[in-house]
Amino acid sequence: MEYKYAKRMSSVTASEIRELLKLTEQPEVISFAGGLPAPELFPIEEIKTVNNYVLDHNGEHALQYATTEGYQPLREWIAKRMNTRLGTSFCDENILITHGSQQALDLSGKVFLDEGDVVLCESPTYLAALSAFKAYSCKFAEIPTDDSGMIMSELEKALEKYPTAKLIYVIPDFQNPTGRTWSLERRQQLAEISAKYNVAVLEDNPYGELRYEGDFLPSVKSLDKAGNVLCTGTFSKIFCPGYRIGWIAGEKEVIRKYVLVKQGVDLQCNTIAQMVISAYLEKYDMDAHIDKIREVYRKRRDTAIKAIRSAFPSDITFTKPEGGLFLWIELNEKIDTTRLLEKCLEHNVAFVPGTSFFPNTKKCNTLRINFSNMPEDKISEGIMRIGRALNEFTE
Amino acid sequence: MEYKYAKRMSSVTASEIRELLKLTEQPEVISFAGGLPAPELFPIEEIKTVNNYVLDHNGEHALQYATTEGYQPLREWIAKRMNTRLGTSFCDENILITHGSQQALDLSGKVFLDEGDVVLCESPTYLAALSAFKAYSCKFAEIPTDDSGMIMSELEKALEKYPTAKLIYVIPDFQNPTGRTWSLERRQQLAEISAKYNVAVLEDNPYGELRYEGDFLPSVKSLDKAGNVLCTGTFSKIFCPGYRIGWIAGEKEVIRKYVLVKQGVDLQCNTIAQMVISAYLEKYDMDAHIDKIREVYRKRRDTAIKAIRSAFPSDITFTKPEGGLFLWIELNEKIDTTRLLEKCLEHNVAFVPGTSFFPNTKKCNTLRINFSNMPEDKISEGIMRIGRALNEFTE
C-alpha cells in the first residue's frame, strides 16, 4: 500500500550521520560517538541482590500494573535528592517518573507544542531533544552561547522576536554537546527572564551529579519564583540506562498535565525497575557509588584533554568540562567534520560531527567527544588516531 | 505562571469515571473495573532465576543502552510466534519492541495522524486507545458492531463519507470492552476493504493467546495481501504487565518509520526486561504457562456468567466471550450505569460504565466486567452485590 503518513513524518528522517556511525559498532573502532556510561561501573551484584529482594518480598506488586505517577517511595527520594542537591522545594507530587529523561522531553512536546510553535534552545544543543520536539512540528530559535552558558541579551532579543514562544530548553550542567556549565548569574537571569516573558523553561539535567571539580551550583528551578521551570533527571548516568528510569519535576499543576498525557502514551513506567532502584537506594550508598563514577570519569576527562593537547594542531579550541560526559572541539573553520569523520573511520576511530547539534545553523568545523565509555589507554590511542586523520585530511 | 499549553491539552482531561474508580482501591471493594491479570499466576520464581542468569552472564549489556528496535532474539521469537499462532510471515525486522502495547497505539498516532484526521473504530472500543489517538487531535467515526465484529457495510459507508480516513482501529480477538471475537468472514472483508480504500489497519491484539474455547482464528494481518495491516501484541497478559514489554508488527517499510519515531520518544525499551523475557522463553515452557492462565480465567469467566444469570434481571443481555478478560452487559435502556456505579460503590463493588468506551455516541445503559483478577468466590459475591444495587436502583 501507499501509506498515508502524518505530515510530521517528513521531518522524522534517518540521519546520515547515524548511518555513518553504525560503522563504529565494529570492535576495532574506538568510538567517542556515543553517550554511554561505563558498564564496568554498573553495580551488577547489588542489583541482583535487590532484584531478588523485591521479587521475594513484593513480587506480585513488582510485576503488576501500577500508577502512572510512579512508585511513591522513589518519587519521594527524587524530591529529597533534588532539594538537597539542586535547592528545590519538591515533594513526591512534584515528580512524575518517565521512561528515561528522553520521555520527559517527548511529553514536554506533547504538553506544550502546537504546530509552528517556537522552542528556544542553546546553540548547539542535545540532538535527541531536537528530534523529540520536532515531532510536534515546532520551529527552533538558536540562542548563541559562550563559556558561561546561553547569552541572555540574545535570549531577550529572541523573546521579543517570538513573543508567543512556548518553551526555553536548556542544559545548564555539563551541557550536551559542549560540556559547558552555566554561571550562577546566567541561571538567575534565565529565571527572571522566563518570568518576565511568561514562558516555560525545561531544565534538562542528566549529568548534574557527575561533577569532577568546582562547586555544585543551584538549579535554575531553585531560582524560579514564578513556577515557570520544569526539570528532568535520570538514573541512566548514575546507576544504569538499561532500566530507563528518569523523571520530570515541576509545579503540581503542570505535572498533573504530564500525568494525563503519559496515561495515553504508555500507561506507566516499568514497575519492577522502579522498585529495584528504590530498594537499591535504601540498602546501598548511592553517594559512594556516584563518587566512584566521578573518580573514574574525571581521570578519563583529564586523559582526553591531555591527548587533545598533544595530538591536535594549535589552531583548535576545546572545552574543559567540570563534569559530565562530553567535550567539544572547534577546528579550523575550513574543516568539515562530517568529511573528517569519513577519514577517521579509515583509522578506526569515530566521534559525532557538530552539525547534528544545530537545528538551523550548521557549524561544520565542530565535533563532540565522549570520554566516559572507555579506558584511558584507549582514549589516548583514539585521540591520537583522530589527530593523525586530521593531519592527513588537511594535507 | 500561566502555562501556555498545546491546544491538544483541552481534550486531555481527567476522566470523571477515573476519579470515581479511585474509590475502588479500598480493600473492602470488589472491583471488576480494572483490566489486571491475576498476580498469583506471575511466574515469580522463574523470573528470579532468569533475572539472576541474565545479570550473571550478560549484566553489562543488560543494564546498558541498546538499540531502538529491541533485543534481536526477542524480536525473532515474537515473529515466529505470530507466524505460528496468527498466520503471519514475519521476521525480526518486522517487529519493533514497544513500552507495552499502549505505546504502539501512541506511536501509531504519531506516525499516521494529523489534526482533524479520522480514525475509524469499533463502537464501543478500548478507552485508552481513544486517549492515545485523541492526543493527535483526530476525530473518531464509530462503526456499529454485532456479535461477529465490526459491521462491514457500515465500515464501507464510513469510508465513502471520510475518504481521507487514516486508520481503522480494531480488536478482533476478545475485544475490549465487549469480549467479542470477529468471525473469519469479517476478518477477510476487513483485509479486502482496507486494500480497496488504501487505508491502514491497526489490529490490536493484547488478549489473543487467552482463548478458553473454540479454535484460534487467523489474524487480519494474515489475510492482508496489500500490506495495510499493522498488529500489536504484548507480554502483559501472558507473562506480566510490570515489565511493559509489547510490540508492533508490520511491513518493514512502515516499521522503520515507527523506529525513527520511537528514537525521539524514548530512545528504546528497558534492556534487561527484554533480555529477562527472552531468557524465560528459552528456559521455560511458555505454552504450559499460558495453559495455566487459560484454565484459571476460563473458570472465572464461567463463574461470572453463572452469577450474572442468577443475580441480574431477565431484561439484560450480555456477552459470553470465548477468551480475554472482559464481558459486556447491556441493561434496560432506562438505566444510566454511571449512576448505578455510585449506588454500587455503596455496596462496595465496582465496574466501568460503558459510556467511556464510546468516543462520540454514549450508550449509558452498558457496563464492562473484568473477570481475570479475582478468585471465583469474590466474583460470585461481587456480581450478587451489583444485582442487589441494581434492584435498589430500579425500585
Q: Are residues B199 and B324 in the same domain?
A: no
Q: pLDDT tens-digit profile of A101-113?
A: 999 999 999 999 9
Q: Of A243, A237, A216, A235, whose CA–CA distance to A293 is shortest? A: A237
Q: pLDDT tens-digit profile of B317-347?
A: 999 999 999 999 999 999 999 999 999 999 9
Q: Which of A283, A305, A327 is the last residue of a domain?
A: A283
Q: Are residues B198 and B335 in the same domain?
A: no
A362: confidence class by pLDDT, cuts 50, 70, 90: confident
Interface subset of B 143-182, CB within 8 angstroms of A:
164, 166
Counted residue by residue, chain A has a size of 395
Q: What are phi and psi of B120, to 5 degrees?
A: -95, 130
Q: Count contacts between A and B (CB, < 8 Å).
A: 244
| pLDDT > 90 fraction of chain A, expressed in percent and rounded | 93
Q: pLDDT tens-digit profile of B360-372?
A: 988 899 999 999 9
Q: Are residues A61 and A25 in the same domain?
A: no
Listed in sequence order, the DSSP H helices in B244-285 are 252-266, 271-283
pLDDT at B159 over 90: yes
Q: Of B25, B49, B14, B2, whose CA–CA distance to B350 is shortest? A: B25
Q: Are residues B94 and B118 in the same domain?
A: yes
Q: Are residues A122 and A177 in the same domain?
A: yes
For the question of an ipTM over 0.95, the answer is yes
pLDDT at B15: 72
Across the interface, whether the CB atoms of A111 and B1 are under 8 A apart is answered no
pLDDT at A11: 87
Interface subset of B 225-284, CB within 8 angstroms of A:
226-228, 236, 240-244, 253-254, 256-257, 260-261, 263-273
Sign of CA dihedral A175, A176, A177, A179: positive
Across the interface, whether the CB atoms of B39 and A266 are under 8 A apart is answered no
Residue A7 belongs to some domain of the structure: no
HSE-CB for A120 with a 13 A CA cutoff:
29
Beta bridge partners of B349: B30
Q: Are residues A196 and A173 in the same domain?
A: yes
Distance of alpha carbon B227 from alpha carbon B238, whole angstroms: 27
Q: pLDDT tens-digit profile of A119-135?
A: 999 999 999 999 999 99
Averaged pLDDT for residues B299-317: 97
Q: Are residues B120 and B61 in the same domain?
A: yes
Interface subset of B 339-378, CB within 8 angstroms of A:
none
Counted residue by residue, chain B has a size of 395
A14: confidence class by pLDDT, cuts 50, 70, 90: confident
Distance of alpha carbon A120 from alpha carbon A202, whole angstroms: 10
Q: pLDDT tens-digit profile of A64-110?
A: 999 999 999 999 999 999 999 999 999 999 999 999 999 999 999 99
Q: Which of A283, A312, A337 is the last residue of a domain?
A: A283
Q: Of A231, A153, A137, whose CA–CA distance to A186 is shortest? A: A153
Q: Which structural domain range is residue B179 located in?
A: 44-283
What are B331's three cell numbers? 441493561
Q: Are residues B37 and B80 in the same domain?
A: no
Averaged pLDDT for residues B52-61: 98
Which among B24, B46, B110 is the top mutation candidate for probing chain A, defined by the most A β-carbons within 10 Å of its own β-carbon?
B110
Averaged pLDDT for residues A47-57: 98
C-alpha gyration radius of chain B: 21
Residue A296 belongs to some domain of the structure: yes
Q: What are phi and psi of A95, to 5 degrees?
A: -120, 130
Residue B335 belongs to some domain of the structure: yes
Number of domains in chain A: 2
What are A125's three cell numbers? 544543543
Chain B contacts of A51, Cβ < 8 Å? Answer: 48, 51-52, 55
Distance of alpha carbon B162 from alpha carbon B184, whole angstroms: 26
Q: Which of A230, A260, A283 is the last residue of a domain?
A: A283
Residue A149 belongs to some domain of the structure: yes
Residue A4 belongs to some domain of the structure: no
Interface subset of B 54-73, CB within 8 angstroms of A:
55-56, 59-66
A293: confidence class by pLDDT, cuts 50, 70, 90: very high
| pLDDT > 70 fraction of chain A, expressed in percent and rounded | 99
Residue A263 belongs to some domain of the structure: yes
B95: confidence class by pLDDT, cuts 50, 70, 90: very high
- The CATH number of residue B23's host domain is 3.90.1150.10
Q: Are residues A88 and A236 in the same domain?
A: yes
Q: Does B201 touch chain A (CB under 8 A)?
A: no
Region label for A346, one of left (φ > 0), alpha (ψ between -120 and 50) or beta (otherwise): alpha
Residue A8 belongs to some domain of the structure: no
- The CATH number of residue A226's host domain is 3.40.640.10
Beta bridge partners of B211: B323
Q: Are residues B55 and B190 in the same domain?
A: yes
DSSP class of B64: S
Do residues B60 and A40 touch, judged by C-beta distance below 8 A?
Answer: yes
Q: pLDDT tens-digit profile of B271-297?
A: 999 999 999 999 999 999 999 999 999
DSSP class of A323: B
Distance of alpha carbon B127 from alpha carbon A238, whole angstroms: 37
In one-letter notation, the amino acid at residue A374 is M
Q: Are residues A278 and A295 in the same domain?
A: no
pLDDT at B380 over 90: yes
Q: Are residues A87 and A206 in the same domain?
A: yes
Residue B145 belongs to some domain of the structure: yes
Task: Tell me which residue in A2, A3, A63 faces B42 most closely, judged by beta carbons.
Answer: A63
Other Cβ atoms closer than 10 A to A98: 28
